[in-house]
Structure 1
Amino acid sequence: MKPSDPQGWKLQHSYAELPEGLFTRVTPSPVRAPKLVMFNRPLAEALGLNADVLAGEEGAAIFAGNQLPEGAEPLAQAYAGHQFGYFTKLGDGRAVLLGEQLAPDGTRIDIQLKGAGRTPYSRGGDGRAALGPMLREYIISEAMHGLGIPTTRSLAVTATGEPVIRETTLPGAVLTRTAASHLRVGTFQYAAAYGGKDEVQALADYALRRHYPEGLTQEAPYLYLLKAVAERQAALIARWMLAGFIHGVMNTDNMAISGETIDYGPCAFLDTYRPDTVFSSIDRQGRYAYGNQPYIAGWNVARLAEALLPLLHEHEEEGVRLAEEVLHAFSPQYEARWLEGMRAKLGLFGAEAEDEALAKDLLALMAEQQADYTGTFRALTLRQQERLPMSGTEAFAAWESRWRARRERQHADDEAAAQLMRRSNPAVIPRNHRVEEALEAAEREDYSVLHRLLAALADPYAYTPEQEALAEPPAPSSCAYRTYCGT
């Protein structure tokens, strides 16, 4: 660590080398009384930062936007997006990119302040964020990291000491988010709509250098980029579905080119298994329902293909044909990833023709019996089938007989199958009612509930006694659970 930089910052600014139309230089707006309420020490250390220094007042000043870290050159990124199917000009309306931290392992990680004040892209908004939604992103993003699902992460949450006016008056906060990058499908849409081929090509070259450098030596690098993004998204959405995660607002501006989960707004996890489940208060038509997520991901990849079309081939018809090949492959890629994960959840090695039917028949039983999604696989993992709501039914007995026969045919023994299931089925997820308990306590400045929850979610496959109570589903309620964007 350089003596001139005791905090450990090693910021660079490769994004700022792109055409100026893709960003605007801005400065975070200071807040009244910054107070660090959450600090991710392990993440800070992995980034090469001095956690001991940043855990105090110096960190609070930086993570609130009152003081710039050494080497920062803040900017707000421009992008567009299809929001619930309608194209809109957007941009970082309340986020400021401080720079890219060079971690000790050589990776380049964006450091972004979310809720840092107005920017030219605020569209009349105040550029601020409320404490509850920022803590929700901290909880869910760290839970996703624990589950092994690619995700942006949360470095800190800083209370501002200022109110935020939404439907009611709420305490304000700034989230410090880290990401492989903040390049989105919507970034390419913006370049295509408001720039031109040169801007799209500059952006595509940058994406290749940063995320897919092996594509630079390909004969068709931009087709390689499209294929690579599609493959990562197919894998990512399969992981979401296997974990019972609902993003809630899969607009194209919320789809990262890196393949990370980004922008945790009205997100939540399934309790009762129902493919049509929607938690988001703004998704009134169910566009982003749990069961629709694979389709929407493919739709979003198609929007990326449209933006890249001029780069795919000099003749438009041939470019369209190449793009269509990629798009037609998306659904099979997703299905293969999902089935691979479902085999692991059921303790199955190898592949047999009936595996897909075995998995989908179980899901049909779960939907019919209104079974808890995570709880069902947890019970199967612990061999506690008698606790399941469908236990004792003829349909489940028939399914269980097929499952046992399938496992008896494989070469792996029961212990190997049990270990595979334990690695694939979490003992605990951020249950919606537990998240709400933690957020309600935090509003009273009691963070002990949140810390206990985060400790359990850090290793969700541990199956510890401490995770037992947090694994229980909520009590039945006549009120549907709702989440809100917090924007």
Structure 2
Amino acid sequence: MAFTLSGDDVCQITFPSPIPDPYWVAFSPSAANLIQLSVSQDGLPSDPSWLELLAGNSLSTGMHDFAKPISTVYSGHQFGVWAGQLGDGRAILLGEANGQEIQLKGAGKTLYSRMGDGRAVLRSSIREFLCSEAMNALGIPTTRALSVVGSALPVFREMMETAAVCARLAPSFIRVGHFEHFASTQSIVRLKELADLLIQDHYPECKNNVEPYLELFKHISVRNAKLVARWQSVGFCHGVLNSDNISALGLTMDYGPFGFLDHFEIDHICNHSDHGGRYAYHRQPQIMHWNMACLASAFLPLLELTHDESQAQSILREALEEFPVTYAQAWQSIFRQKLGLQTSQDSDIQLIERLLQAIHDSSVDFTSFFRQLSQVKLDHAIEKITLRDQFVDRVAIDQWFTDYLQRLTSESSQDITRMQAMNLVNPKYILRNHLAQAAIDKAQQHDFSEVTLLMNILSKPYDEQPEHEVYAAPPPADLERVAVSCSS
């Protein structure tokens, strides 16, 4: 359901600012299906009025009227520092359709834009569109991207670029930052209303619990623990895991300077503004745990409705300690699947960690290695396994493969069955930065064919797609070290 809390202290009626001469850049029929939007054979809405709506130039279509678009207030921690009040600085929530909120990103200034212009640019909008849809196809919880609408309107970032509006979908865009805001302003009534809204619309299993707010916190924490485990399993780096960028539904949201790992670096930093590496790949689980601690602090007043302060703190602290346990269980389960292991043995964790260290030491391509690992057969002689050629330390990797084959044999693994199972969890296609940039370069010349092609390839990441083999390859040497800024 759409955000239903009302009042100037919660949200503001915010009308989008029109853009001149809007045109379609990208559109997702898959996302359109979520809101039961009819799509014609050209892959665009059958109703042409949707172009004006998703550009921010109109508030109605033939079937919908979004008369009261809003922007919402929230607060949060940015790079570990309390930033105070923030809010939807360039996001405007149009309303709801078929249980999905429709939000325009880049449709102009809001009350919370601070010093910003409320706009987004074509470059970042294409990246968000492609990654949102790619993550969904990977089976990772995410906000969805319905469309990108472009315009010649100039927007200055690090250089002059052109404007774009990205339409996003989600059952709810409520963030950890919403809870932090009401807790920080001691708006306990609003805090309770927000928690009750989430329970009613998204966590009904918590409603009749003796401790509904504690249970809500646990559910949000569990979802985000499992989410970050999924990120790690596909080598996804978010880049800006500020508390205001964390979904209360456990969705990946706010795609900015993200990146998928190519050649594996366990301490890879995808955001060149992250000078201290706070949001590096290997720190994402720790930082998500830290964000859940921020949420626990915001939930403290809710538990103090029925407990004294000391009891409430103790209860939340105990609940927070469940996060690393949940994460570890999810991470171990996923990586066992990536190795094709059907059972659980105590030695598995060491086997996984040894492999990741070896991949790191030799800068092996993360996605390609795990995909090709399914082709290893139990009767292979170690020296015949071509994957070992990617490693510098042959002795170490040969020992790993020896132990791996013994581990598979211990559970009577079958080559064909294992390969099929592994190919369902190890994608062949991910949104590599150089592929996204190639699509952006063409789009900036008004050729959007590569954006559509990439969307279609990434919609089937686990399929072989032999006609698109080049899109599965690691980047050329001169494009290996692509880092992206927060600027969008």
TM-score scaled by length of structure 2: 0.93
Q: How does 1:386-401 map to 2 (within 5 A)?
A: 386-387=386-387, 388-390=389-391, 393-401=394-402
Give the structure 2 partner of residue 90 of structure 1. 86
Give the structure 2 partner of residue 7 of structure 1. none
What is the SS of the residue equivalent to 2:482?
coil
Q: How does 1:408-419 map to 2 (within 5 A)?
A: 408-419=409-420
Give the structure 2 partner of residue 358 of structure 1. 351
2:191 is equivalent to residue 203 of structure 1: no
Q: How does 1:330-349 map to 2 (within 5 A)?
A: 330-349=323-342
Cα deviation code 1:11-50 (max 9, x no counterpart) = x74x233454111111111111111221112321331123
Give the structure 2 partner of residue 76 of structure 1. 71
Choose which of 271, 280, 286 in structure 2 pairs with 1:295: 286
Counterpart code for 2:161? L
Q: How does 1:110-125 map to 2 (within 5 A)?
A: 110-125=101-116
Segments of 5+ residues of structure 2 without an aligned counterpart are: 377-383
Q: Cα distance 1:447–1:199, how it changes in 2: closer, same or farther (>3 A)?
A: same
Shift of 1:166: 1.3
Cα deviation code 1:283-305 (max 9, x no counterpart) = 11100000000000000000000
Whole-Å separation in 1 of the counterparts to 2:131 and 2:244: 19
Conserved? CA contact 2:75–2:177, under 8 Å: yes
Whole-Å separation in 2 of the counterparts to 1:203 and 1:19: 13
Shift of 1:100: 1.6
Conserved? CA contact 1:21–1:195, under 8 Å: no
Whole-Å separation in 2 of the counterparts to 1:406 and 1:301: 36
Cα deviation code 1:146-191 (max 9, x no counterpart) = 1110000110100123111112110110000001211000010011
Q: Cα distance 1:42–1:478, how it changes in 2: closer, same or farther (>3 A)?
A: closer
Conserved? CA contact 1:130–1:486, under 8 Å: no
Cα deviation code 1:132-151 (max 9, x no counterpart) = 10000001111101111000
What is the SS of the residue equivalent to 1:286?
coil
Tell which deviates more after alignment, 115-124 or 38-47.
Answer: 38-47
TM-score scaled by length of structure 1: 0.93
Whole-Å separation in 2 of the counterparts to 1:339 and 1:199: 39
Shift of 1:194: 2.3
* Percent identical residues: 38
Conserved? CA contact 2:138–2:427, under 8 Å: yes
Instruction: Supply the RMSD in Å over aligned alpha carbons.
Output: 1.7
Give the structure 1 partner of residue 182 of structure 2. 191
What is the SS of the residue equivalent to 2:478?
coil
Shift of 1:374: 0.7
Shift of 1:128: 0.7
Choose which of 177, 180, 185 in structure 1 pairs with 2:171: 180
Give the structure 2 partner of residue 316 of structure 1. 309
Give the structure 1 partner of residue 21 of structure 2. 33
Whole-Å separation in 1 of the counterparts to 2:30 and 2:190: 38
Give the structure 1 partner of residue 360 of structure 2. 367
Give the structure 1 partner of residue 381 of structure 2. none
Segments of 5+ residues of structure 1 without an aligned counterpart are: 1-11, 103-107
Choose which of 233, 249, 255 in structure 1 pairs with 2:240: 249
Q: Cα distance 1:478–1:470, how it changes in 2: closer, same or farther (>3 A)?
A: closer
What is the SS of the residue equivalent to 1:51?
coil
What is the SS of the residue equivalent to 1:134?
helix
Q: How does 1:134-149 map to 2 (within 5 A)?
A: 134-149=125-140
Cα deviation code 1:275-332 (max 9, x no counterpart) = 1111212111100000000000000000000000011242111111111111111111
2:397 is equivalent to residue 404 of structure 1: no
